[in-house]
Chains A and B, each alone.
Chain A
């Protein structure tokens, strides 16, 4: 892997913080943990009976070295990572995590910051709000969730930041008044959104339609690798041939045979796992948010963390 060596941590506390959401406190097995900036995430490795599951989670809490905190939403139709965290990870469980990586940093040249969270997408903003308050930077946090029971940390955030926090609950008929919010913001404002894919796309689209430059619109997406038909990957440099199963990503399949391909986010956002395609006998299904549409169309490269082949064999420069 890239981004430095892996870190061993032990779960020291598990707390239920909302419906289907648990907070995990991770303490280092040896030595202090690296400090991190607001917006950072780690990739947690879980050792299920048949495979190693790796999921990215935003770091909460305050940059400290003694422990990390993450919150995990239990999602029924996912590939098993969140269910593993909820059902098998308890106080005392040891996990392997990556070094913190920040693909969602605060733009400190900004003069005002608008944070928009949907559901579990609140997690990166807990540290961001703390940091912005400490820097005395103007900010607003708009936090939408399905119901009060699912609004993790809503009360704490309200207590800490008062009228800078706006809460919306779908079941009470509230929604973020995006168009009104994005209109007439002063020059130098930055917007950050984290939540479900549909919400992110909606917010970014509304931002552009309100005349915001794309440089001022920031999103954190953790795409789970979509499933698809199985296929074979031929690794030209390693001389290996690997089968990619229905619910597996190419990255997971090559890791399973011992090939250390570069990665950072495992969610199609960072660009680290971009791999050159040598040959391909089908259609590449690009699921990432990184490659230029032109490159995607040409089929010259693939992001192996989330994209797949609709065909039988893909030859990669790995």
Chain B
């Protein structure tokens, strides 16, 4: 059903400090705060003084980050505003910058999407997936993006087509692809299950 084994499905590791980076920019969403805290814990003082954290999410989740002496910690009200701030950093950044991302898959994908627009190689971005497995979906028919999809079949939030959620991922759109599942027999759907909680 899901068509697994698709190579474009991203894989994530754990955040590890790159001791050579001149400037570390850590982008964190919600439960990603735990991964960012482990990163800062494992790094030395030198690394921390070269590190800025941009955080979007609840203040409570970010408590674990408050004790580290880092260069700068900024709270952003939404992912959108965090991404705008990211663009600001990347506009003037040099090759010595390193990006670290922790949060949901949709968040990581959007950070990589923005960084690639500045010609950052996606493989150089250090990522750790935390929190929900909910997917950001692009409807391949109307191209609309639907956020937070948790089921194997979901209605497109834009054109209303019933979409089968695939493992096929687009870095350019930062989204998994959703393909009409009942084109031949409208309304006949496979069993709907929660798959990406």
Give A contacts to B, CB under 8 Å.
107, 109-111, 182-189, 208-216
Q: Please report the C-alpha to C-alpha distance between residue A186 and residue B120 in the assembled complex, in whole angstroms.
A: 11
B95 and A182 contact, CB distance less than 8 A: yes
Q: Please report the C-alpha to C-alpha distance between residue A182 and residue B22 in the assembled complex, in whole angstroms.
A: 12
Shortest CB–CB separation between residue A140 and chain B, in angstroms? 14
Can you list 11 A-B contacts with CB-CB less than 8 angstroms, sorted by A residue number?
A109-B116, A109-B119, A109-B121, A183-B94, A184-B94, A187-B93, A189-B95, A213-B18, A213-B123, A215-B121, A215-B124
Give B contacts to A, CB under 8 Å.
18, 20-23, 90, 93-98, 116, 118-121, 123-124
Q: What total of A-B pairs shows CB separation below 8 Å?
A: 58
Q: Which residues of A contact B18 (CB under 8 A)?
A: 211, 213
Shortest CB–CB separation between residue B89 and chain A, in angstroms? 10
Shortest CB–CB separation between residue A46 and chain B, in angstroms? 39
- Taking each of B20, B23, B97, B116, which has the highest tally of chain A beta carbons within 10 Å of its own beta carbon? B20
Question: Taking CB as reference atom, which chain B residue is nearest A112?
Answer: B119
A187 and B124 contact, CB distance less than 8 A: no
- Other A-B pairs beyond A109-B116, A187-B118, 6, CB < 8 Å: A107-B121, A188-B118, A211-B18, A211-B96, A211-B97, A212-B96
Question: Taking CB as reference atom, which chain B residue is nearest A109?
Answer: B119
A208 and B94 contact, CB distance less than 8 A: no
Q: Which residues of B contact A111 (CB under 8 A)?
A: 119
B95 and A110 contact, CB distance less than 8 A: no
Question: Taking CB as reference atom, which chain B residue is nearest A210?
Answer: B96
Q: Which residues of A contact B93 (CB under 8 A)?
A: 186-187
B98 and A185 contact, CB distance less than 8 A: no
Q: Please report the C-alpha to C-alpha distance between residue A107 and residue B121 in the assembled complex, in whole angstroms.
A: 10
B119 and A110 contact, CB distance less than 8 A: yes
A208 and B20 contact, CB distance less than 8 A: yes
3 shortest interchain CB distances as A-B pairs: A188-B119, A211-B96, A213-B124
- Taking each of B93, B119, B120, which has the highest tally of chain A beta carbons within 10 Å of its own beta carbon? B119
Known A-B contacts A111-B119, A187-B90; the reply to A209 vs B95 at CB < 8 A is: no
Q: Which residues of A contact B22 (CB under 8 A)?
A: 210-211
Q: Please report the C-alpha to C-alpha distance between residue A213 and residue B94 in the assembled complex, in whole angstroms.
A: 11
A216: which of B23, B90, B116, B121 is its contact (CB, 8 Å)?
Answer: B121
Question: Taking CB as reference atom, which chain B residue is nearest A191?
Answer: B95
Q: Which residues of A contact B94 (CB under 8 A)?
A: 183-187
Question: Taking CB as reference atom, which chain B residue is nearest A111?
Answer: B119
Question: Taking CB as reference atom, which chain A residue is nearest B90?
Answer: A187
Q: Please report the C-alpha to C-alpha distance between residue A210 and residue B18 in the assembled complex, in whole angstroms.
A: 12
Shortest CB–CB separation between residue A188 and chain B, in angstroms? 3
A186 and B95 contact, CB distance less than 8 A: yes
Q: Please report the C-alpha to C-alpha distance between residue A216 and residue B95 in the assembled complex, in whole angstroms.
A: 9
Shortest CB–CB separation between residue A231 and chain B, in angstroms? 38
Question: Taking CB as reference atom, which chain B residue is nearest A209?
Answer: B20
B121 and A213 contact, CB distance less than 8 A: yes
Shortest CB–CB separation between residue B11 and chain A, in angstroms? 16
B124 and A216 contact, CB distance less than 8 A: yes
- Taking each of B18, B23, B96, B116, which has the highest tally of chain A beta carbons within 10 Å of its own beta carbon? B96
A215 and B123 contact, CB distance less than 8 A: yes
Known A-B contacts A187-B90, A187-B93, A208-B20; the reply to A213 vs B119 at CB < 8 A is: no
